[in-house]
């Protein structure tokens, strides 16, 4: 059986491609977000955050022979756990990575981490729209309070996201809930509603809706601060479904277990 560590919108597509190729696939996602894989007999799903020990137990329990890591490009801990699990079990590890779409010469401000991004965004002295999710909220709350600016946070419409916002001290009236990717019009509506002066995002690739954010910011006339992607680890990485399935076939030597 293949363990597919999900976390991106391509998870369902990858699961179906592997299942249609004859492999049994266990899809693991941290949250219970919708995953449209129908009732394919080769696909199982489990939900919940896994630490390294939990992922190792899961892999042993289900006799996992190969791991496909489709967690978010910024999910450093999840990717590390998946790599270590594969290493400990001496099984192949293949990584699905969305290609980045923003280059250094883009009209955006790159920052190495959330603390630096928060300080830069809040230094403009205008309302900030944070679109990096419900993790790493504290640096932005701290920077916004220090600078005396409004912080608006757009997060997934999920109880866990709301709890993270409350724990970090984000005001309820400044929480925008929804499930992306969002269109240019969606982004503009939020920017206009809150009189946003700067936006913070990640380079989550085309599927993550980053280009729509950039275009909306251009139209609205506000700068964009981008948290730089973590450095990718060495290993086999893919961004094409057919190439990934072929690599799985080669790595598993024809086994369909």
pLDDT in tens, 51-68: 989 999 999 999 999 999
Q: What does 151-220 look like in DSSP terms, one character per residue?
A: EEEEEESSHHHHHHHHHHT--GGGEEEE-S---HHHHHHHHHHTT--EEEEE---GGGTHHHHHHHHHHH
Q: Which residues span the domain enclosing 16?
A: 2-97+232-251
Residues 133 and 59 grouped into a single domain = no
From residue 52, alpha-carbon distances to 71, 88, 160 in Å are: 14, 10, 21
User: Residue 102 half-sphere exposure, CB side, CA atoms within 13 Å?
Assistant: 26
In the chain, how many domains are there?
2
The partner residues of 154 in beta bridges, in order of sequence, read: 176
The pLDDT tens digits of the residues spanning 213-233 come to 999 999 999 999 999 988 766
Q: Is residue 103 part of a domain?
A: no
Q: Is residue 104 part of a domain?
A: no
Residue 136 sits in a domain whose CATH number is: 3.40.50.620
Residues 9 and 41 grouped into a single domain = yes
133: its two tokens: 């999710």
* Predicted pLDDT of residue 72: 84
The partner residues of 155 in beta bridges, in order of sequence, read: 177
Mean pLDDT of the chain: 90
If pLDDT is split at 50, 70 and 90, which confidence band does 257 have?
A: very low
First-residue to last-residue Cα distance in the chain: 5
**Whether the Cβ atoms of residue 223 and residue 198 lie closer than 8 Å to each other:** yes
Residues 188 and 215 grouped into a single domain = yes
* Predicted pLDDT of residue 255: 46
Q: Is residue 123 part of a domain?
A: yes
The pLDDT tens digits of the residues spanning 137-149 come to 999 999 999 999 9
3-state secondary structure of 49: coil
Q: Is residue 16 part of a domain?
A: yes
Average pLDDT (198-205) is 91
Residues 243 and 203 grouped into a single domain = no
Say yes or no to pLDDT of 254 above 60. Answer: no
């Amino acid at each position: 059986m293949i363990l597919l560590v999900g976390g991106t919108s391509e998870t369902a597509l990858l699961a179906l491609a592997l299942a249609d190729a004859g492999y049994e696939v266990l899809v693991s996602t941290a949250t219970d977000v919708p995953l449209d894989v129908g009732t394919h007999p080769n696909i199982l799903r489990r939900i919940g955050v896994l630490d390294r020990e939990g992922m190792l137990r899961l892999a042993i329990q289900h006799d996992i022979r190969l791991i496909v890591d489709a967690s978010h490009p910024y999910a450093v801990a999840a990717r590390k756990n998946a790599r270590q699990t594969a290493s400990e079990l001496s099984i192949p590890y293949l990584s699905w990575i969305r290609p980045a779409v923003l280059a250094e010469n883009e009209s955006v401000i790159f920052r190495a981490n959330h603390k630096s991004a928060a300080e830069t965004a809040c230094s403009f002295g205008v309302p900030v729209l944070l679109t990096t999710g419900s993790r790493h909220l504290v640096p932005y709350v701290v920077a916004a309070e220090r600078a005396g600016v409004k912080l608006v946070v757009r997060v997934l419409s999920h109880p866990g996201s709301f709890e993270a916002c409350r724990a970090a001290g984000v005001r309820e009236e400044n929480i925008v809930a929804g499930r992306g990717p969002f269109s240019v019009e969606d982004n503009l509506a939020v920017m206009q509603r809150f009189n946003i002066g700067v936006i913070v995002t990640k380079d989550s690739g085309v599927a993550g809706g980053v280009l729509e954010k950039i275009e909306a910011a251009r139209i609205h006339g506000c700068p964009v601060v981008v948290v730089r992607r973590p450095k990718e680890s060495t290993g086999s990485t893919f961004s094409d479904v057919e190439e990934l399935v072929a690599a799985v076939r080669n790595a598993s030597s024809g086994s369909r277990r």
